[in-house]
Amino acid sequence: MNKKSLIGIAAATWIFAVAASPALAAEEPNENAGILTAQILEEGSNIAWGQAVLVVDRPIDEVLPIVQDYANYADFMPNFTKSRVLSQRGSRAMVYMEVSVAKGAFTLWGQLNLAERPQEGDSRVVEAYLMEGNVDAFSARFELTPVDAGTRTRVDFKIYVDPDIPLPSSVFSRENERAAGKTLRALRTRVFEGPRGST
């Protein structure tokens, strides 16, 4: 049996176990409170982007530094096991990251280019693109916009991952949507806890 077949079986088993878990299904609505998720079609692909939107009760100056804290993504982002900055100049960085999937059955890794785009209006945008790795494609985008006279921040996060695993594209579209929601839950927790769990 080849490597792709083994990975496909492991991933299918993991996805079935998650989908069949009543405890997880019961927890998700509360965990997603205030977070809207969706799938967005990607031109030329059968896999959709995952999108999540959240309004955080903190000003943008408290949220943006956490989004740009690339070296510490492994401390609070879901499934991240490594996040090491290889080089950085301002908000632009080359970052090596590893993500554990299928309950630790295998690891996705990539060298990412992360940078803040030139500011457009009040919004701040941080984007990530895959330079190399063991996935076919990876892109992510945070858009932060001040709302309510700057006292709160609307966060619009999108993620697209094609992990090169032989499973239906609809599985990965759902996983991208789920990952977007988990990322914003983790970001919200980090904003309120602070970098070292302080209040």
Give the start-to-end residue ranges of the domains of the chain.
Answer: 3-193
Read off the tokens for 91: 């908000």
- Would the CA dihedral through 76, 79, 80, 81 be positive or negative? positive
CA angle (23, 27, 30) in 5-degree steps: 165
Specify the pLDDT at position 191.
94
3-state percent helix, strand, coil for the chain, nearest multiple of 5: 35, 40, 25
Radius of gyration of the chain (CA): 17
pTM, whole model, 2 decimals?
0.80
Tally helices (H) and strands (E) across the chain: 5, 8
**pLDDT per residue as tens digits for the range 5-26:** 434 433 433 333 333 333 333 3
Q: Which residues of 161-189 are buried (b: 16+ CB within 10 A; e: fewer)?
A: bbbebeeeeebbbbbbbbbbbbbbbbbbe
**pLDDT per residue as tens digits for the range 32-77:** 678 999 999 988 888 999 999 999 999 999 999 999 999 999 998 8
Specify the pLDDT at position 77.
87
Q: Which CATH architecture has domain 3-193?
A: 2-Layer Sandwich (3.30)
Specify the pLDDT at position 17.
35
